[in-house]
Amino acid sequence: MTIIFLLIGFIKPTTSYHCEIMVDKPIEESGYVAQDEERMSEWLEGFIKIEHVSGRPKTVGNVSNVYFKINGKEMVVKRTITAIKLFESMESLSETDFMNMEYSVNMTAIGEKTKISSSTTVKGNGIFARSLMVFMGGSLKKQEEKNLAKLKNTIEANTKKYFTEQTTTK
């Protein structure tokens, strides 16, 4: 049985999933709320803080340690931004001892609403972790769906003014 479990990690070394939500707010406001580090704990499960390590925040090459509390234990994820287009998209590589995650999020304006979609590819570090990721894929996707639903609620309940009329009419 152990051999079959480990073989699964060779056969399927990565797990991928895609999630999507529609938010009843314009893209600029959705982008500001999603990037507001002070509000991330409102929608990102277990989020504690972001510690900038190198590079300018919210730019390609920026490296940050992102702290989470999961099941009572603190976890640190090293996140490197690999591509970013403000209010439209961001791609990143998140690394832990156990796994690496390529993550992208895209925002698309649809009238006065915003479609937010995410794509994730996870690869365990080591054969045991790769095999385990195959079985954890469903729960990882459910967590992402839950986070996006909470992000939708946070954005739609937002009353904070992130910009002035001048920044929206460039």
- Specify which residues 122 forms β-bridges with: 15, 101
Segment among 37-51, 105-119, 150-164 with least mean pLDDT: 150-164
Q: What is the mean pLDDT of the chain?
A: 91
pLDDT tops 80 at residue 132: yes
According to DSSP, residue 163 is labeled S
Mean predicted confidence (pLDDT) in 24-34: 94
Q: How far apart are CA 89 and CA 64, in angstroms?
A: 18
| More confidently predicted of 63 and 166 | 63
So what's the pLDDT on residue 164? 64
pLDDT in tens, 41-87: 999 999 999 999 999 988 999 999 999 998 999 999 999 999 999 88
Q: Are 103 and 115 in contact (CB under 8 A)?
A: no
pLDDT tops 60 at residue 168: no
55 φψ region: left (φ > 0), alpha (ψ -120 to 50), beta (else): left
Torsion of CA 116, 66, 160, 28, to 10 degrees: -30
126 φψ region: left (φ > 0), alpha (ψ -120 to 50), beta (else): left
Q: Burial, 124: exposed, middle or buried (Cβ in 10 Å; 0-12, 13-18, 19+)?
A: buried
Tokens coding 48: 């504690």
So what's the pLDDT on residue 137? 85
pLDDT tops 50 at residue 166: no
Q: What is the pTM for the complete model shown?
A: 0.87
The structural domains of the chain, ordered by start, are 2-43+85-160 (3.30.530.20)
